[in-house]
Amino acid sequence: RDRMTTRAMDLFCPLGKGTRGIIVAPPRTGKTTLLTHIAQGIKANHPDIRIFILLIDERPEEVTDFRRNIDGEVWASSNDEDLPSHLRVADLCVERAKRQVEVGNDVVILMDSITRLARAHNSAKKSGRTMSGGLDIRALEKPRQIFAAARNTEEEGSLTIVASALIETGSRMDDMIFQEFKGTGNMEMVLDRKVAEMRLYPAMNIASSGTRREELLIPGDVLDGIHFFRRALVQQKTEDATETMLTRLSKTDSNQDLLDLISR
């Protein structure tokens, strides 16, 4: 009941096995906490799923925090490590996850962040041709392959990848990286800085967040209620919509109770 982050995700941008999701996050909007809550929610509701946390160029204290609070494998190369370490850790994590899928396991990789992984590849690969923002034309080749590895196989297990993408950092390169990945996933959760400044969490832009083919994940009668709730919220300003959503969530014990309440 008290975990509003994952309840909001279940309503407006649900995850399924094989989902390729992006959390679009300006600085200081709670993306790290959100990833922690996702991992804890998966472990509580689906203990058989194997969780991998991939942290590239993050602060050492965040790495320690994940290791203390998450029951899963933490693969980390913090910002005091060198460039080859970033690339090696990312490759090892993804290859190990693929091997787990091949033997029939369901695996989730939570990556923070795909932007910093792309930056690392940009520094490592110098083809001599650059795009706008100083991004090498081949820098995103490997990050794209990693992100595209997410799928639900018919023969074996599934690989789900949820990666954060940084925006509004003041870096033209970061914006270019996000634009290259935009639309390549099938789930997008957009965080809003103004909502976060009001200390409303999750700082979610409901109108811009969503999952493709969500009808495959949610029963039709439940989906009708969610669409009704979404239509009511998107008519408000972003911060007002998030506040209304959190107020409704706090007054009910479950999402089903909330949908039953608003359908009366």
Please give the pLDDT value at position 127: 60
Domain 20-185 class in CATH: alpha beta
Please tell me the predicted confidence (pLDDT) of residue 26.
93
167 conformational bin, left if phi > 0, alpha if psi -120 to 50, beta if neither: beta
* CA distance linking residue 232 with residue 230, whole number of Å: 5
Exposure string (b/e) for 110-137, b if CB count within 10 Å is 16 or more?
A: bbbbbbbbbbbbbeeeeeeeeeeeebbe
What's the rounded Cα separation, in Å, for the pair 250 and 242? 12
Per-domain residue ranges of the chain: 20-185
Whole-number pLDDT of residue 137: 79
Q: Which residues pair with 215 in a beta bridge?
A: none
Which of 182, 174, 170, 237 shows the shortest CA–CA distance to 206? 237
Phi then psi for residue 118, to 5 deg, are -65, -40
Whole-model pTM: value is 0.91
With contact defined as beta carbons under 8 Å apart, do 119 and 169 qualify?
no
pLDDT of residue 3: 83
Packing angle between helix 141-148 and helix 172-181, nearest 10 degrees? 40
Interval 44-60: pLDDT, tens: 999 999 999 999 988 99
The reported pLDDT for the residue numbered 136 is 79
10 Å CB burial of residue 105 (0-12, 13-18, 19+) is middle
Strand locations in 13-147 (E)? 20-25, 50-56, 73-77, 106-112
Cβ(176)–Cβ(118) below 8 Å: no
Measure the CA–CA gap between 139 and 141, rounded to whole angstroms: 6
Q: Which residues of the chain have pLDDT under 50?
A: none
The string over 199-229, giving b where at least 16 C-beta atoms fall within 10 Å of a residue's C-beta and e elsewhere, is ebbbbbbbbbbbbeebeebbeeeeeebbeeb
pLDDT value at position 133?
Answer: 66
- DSSP SS3 for 34: helix
Residue 183: the pLDDT is 81
pLDDT for res 14: 94
Query: Which residues neighbour 193 within 8 Å (Cβ) at sequence distance 6 or greater?
Result: 26, 27, 28, 29, 168, 203
Peptide bond just before 202 cis, omega within 30 deg = yes
